[in-house]
Structure 1
Amino acid sequence: MIELAELTKRYGAKTAVDRLTFAVRPGVVTGFLGPNGAGKSTTMRMILGLDHPTSGRVTIDGRPYDRLTRPLTYIGGLLEAKSVHPGRTAYHHLLCLAQSNGVDPRRIDEVLDLVGLTGVARKRPKGFSLGMGQRLGIASALLGDPRILMFDEPVNGLDPEGIHWIRNLMKQLAAGGRTVFVSSHLMSEMALTAEHLVVIGQGRLLADTSMARFIEENSRTFVRVRTPEPERLRDALAAAGVRPEQRPDGCLEIEGVPASRVGELAAEHRVVLHELSRQQASLEEAFMRLTHGAVEYQAREG
């Protein structure tokens, strides 16, 4: 488990992270979202001990990162996939990490096979594509077989097959009881991967909740109905105390009533329906609505 308590980081007069308190628990994929400049990367760097907090604390299974013996066996992190010595092969990069963390060298071949880099194990990563570099970074994170995994933009540079692979890998790791913390700007991908969300803006915590609740609380949910008999349906709904809103395209929109209830009322009054659907915003729409006032760099629409 990763736990943050009043975690704060200031750079001169600028507060990059402002009293963040939340926990990343095992068993689910937790998404970490925020606009550019929100403080996500700074937070992740403090988790790994790369930046020191101005105040507050962050612990990995109850201990700060710098007090972990063999830290790669506790937490594996992917922050900068290209942080590799240019003179070492992929294999020897992993070997250095294994030797410094007391990891059995036989584990190297396992993770290279897992990420699909066995064929280039003896090549230098400076010639790798962005996607291959990402795979090597993921192999480094998995090397110590840790209980906690943290990924920053893990699908960056991956092709569709690679994206599908890392998505399923994160889900499998969480299903096996591991803690998985992932940051990404790809909302569509996050919606398919994460079950829980931590959202920050301007360094402050905005949300710490399930994916379903986040979308529900930050979007408009309604039932859309299309019928050749709109007057009869409106009368049936009105008799039940339901007031639909007529849209320009002729459809009715109904809030606060389940789709099943609308269907039952239509059936009771023998009203023909051509469409009955529950409408809800996407993760991207909900995210934009929540973080609109916390965007540091905002382009003007033309």
Structure 2
Amino acid sequence: MIELQGLTKRYGDKTAVDDLTFTVRPGVVTGFLGPNGAGKSTTMRMILGLDHPTSGDVTIDGKHYAQLSDPFTYMGALLDAKAMHGGRSAYNHLLCLAQANRIPRARVDEVLETVGLTSVAKQRSKGFSLGMGQRLGIAGALLGDPRILMFDEPVNGLDPEGIHWIRNLMKGLAAQGRTVFVSSHLMSEMALTAEHLVVIGRGKLLADTSMADFIEQNSRSYIRVRTPQPERLKDVLSVAGINPVLTGDGSFEIHDGDPAKVGELAAQHQLVLHELSPQRASLEEAFMQLTAGSVEYHAGVHGEPAAPQPNWGGQWQQKQQEKRQGKEA
């Protein structure tokens, strides 16, 4: 388990991480999301003791990383897949790590097979593709068979087969009761992998919740209806107190409605429906909405400055405070 308490990191006048408090628990894949410059990499570096916090604390099962007697067997991490000697073969790179951390030589062959690099084990890593380098970095994280794993952009450079493999690997590790903490910008993949999300923006915590609750709280859901008789359908629904909104493609959007009720009304009035489907926002849409006010670099259109964005993160924090106050009452 990884625990952060008021973790803060400043570089001069720049606050990279601002009073972060959250817990990464075992048994689930926890996704770590945030826009560029949000402070994710700095947070991960502080977890590993590579950067020292300005204030606050971060512990791994109650200990600082530097206090772990066998860190490689306790926690494995991939922060930069290029952080290796390019002149060494994949095998020798892992062997050096193993010997420096009192890990049996046999483990090197095991992790090479796990990541699919056995056939290129004797090749120098400087000739590896980006995806092969990622696999080697993941092998290094797995080398000590650790109970806690942390990955920063693990799917970067991987092909579809590789992405499918790392997804199943992380899920499998979590199913074994291990702590898995992963940062990624690939929202579609994170939606298939993570069960819990921690979202930050400009160093501040924006969300710490389950995947399902995150999407529900930060997106809109509606019913999409298409019919060759739009005017009749609109009249029928309006009489029933349902207000459909006509979209540009000729379909209707119904908010806060029941798909079963809409279908029954259409059947009662012998209306043909070409589509009746509940729509739910994707993780990417929910993420964009929550972090809109925390994006440091907004792209304008045709030279025009980007419009100011609403502070969805502040609204999420206000909702959480209201929930806590309701429980205390």
TM-score, normalized by length of structure 2?
0.87
Q: Which moved more, 1:145-154 or 1:262-271?
A: 262-271
Deviation at 1:278, TM superposition (A): 1.2
Structure 1 residue 255 corresponds to structure 2 residue 255: yes
Output one character per residue of 1:230-269: Cα deviation in whole Å (capped at 9) or x when no partner. 3443344334332222234332211112323322332344
User: 5+ unaligned residues in a row in structure 1: which ranges?
Assistant: none
Output one character per residue of 1:195-245: Cα deviation in whole Å (capped at 9) or x when no partner. 221111000011111222222222221101112333443344334332222
Structure 1 residue 242 corresponds to structure 2 residue 278: no
**1:209 aligned residue:** 209
Which secondary structure does the structure 1 equivalent of 2:119 belong to?
Answer: helix
**1:156 aligned residue:** 156
Deviation at 1:102, TM superposition (A): 2.5
**2:166 aligned residue:** 166
**1:11 aligned residue:** 11
Output one character per residue of 1:131-185: Cα deviation in whole Å (capped at 9) or x when no partner. 1111110000001111111111111111222112111111111222221111111
The two structures, once aligned, show a CA RMSD in angstroms of 1.6
Q: Which moved more, 1:189-198 or 1:87-96?
A: 87-96
Following the alignment from structure 1 to structure 2, what is the Cα–Cα distance between the partners of residues 63 and 263? 57
Which secondary structure does the structure 1 equivalent of 2:108 belong to?
Answer: helix
**CA 1:232 to 1:215, structure 2 compared with 1: closer, same or farther past 3 Å?**
same
Counterpart amino acid of residue 61 in structure 2? D
Deviation at 1:281, TM superposition (A): 2.1
**1:281 aligned residue:** 281
Following the alignment from structure 2 to structure 1, what is the Cα–Cα distance between the partners of residues 43 and 260? 44
**1:58 aligned residue:** 58
**2:301 aligned residue:** 301
**1:48 aligned residue:** 48
**1:106 aligned residue:** 106
**2:126 aligned residue:** 126
Which secondary structure does the structure 2 equivalent of 1:169 belong to?
Answer: helix
**CA 1:179 to 1:264, structure 2 compared with 1: closer, same or farther past 3 Å?**
farther
Counterpart amino acid of residue 14 in structure 1? K
Structure 1 residue 180 corresponds to structure 2 residue 180: yes
Counterpart amino acid of residue 75 in structure 1? M
**1:28 aligned residue:** 28
Following the alignment from structure 2 to structure 1, what is the Cα–Cα distance between the partners of residues 237 and 145? 58
Q: Which moved more, 1:247-256 or 1:153-162?
A: 247-256
Following the alignment from structure 2 to structure 1, what is the Cα–Cα distance between the partners of residues 25 and 265? 43
Deviation at 1:6, TM superposition (A): 0.6
Counterpart amino acid of residue 292 in structure 2? H
Following the alignment from structure 2 to structure 1, what is the Cα–Cα distance between the partners of residues 249 and 184? 36
Deviation at 1:186, TM superposition (A): 1.3
TM-score, normalized by length of structure 1?
0.94
Following the alignment from structure 1 to structure 2, what is the Cα–Cα distance between the partners of residues 270 and 4? 59
**CA 1:29 to 1:86, structure 2 compared with 1: closer, same or farther past 3 Å?**
same
**Greater relative CO (CA pairs within 8 A, separation 6+):** 1
Q: Which moved more, 1:141-150 or 1:121-130?
A: 121-130
Which secondary structure does the structure 1 equivalent of 2:219 belong to?
Answer: coil
Report runs of 4+ in structure 1 exceeding 6 Å deviation.
Answer: none
Q: How many residues align?
A: 302
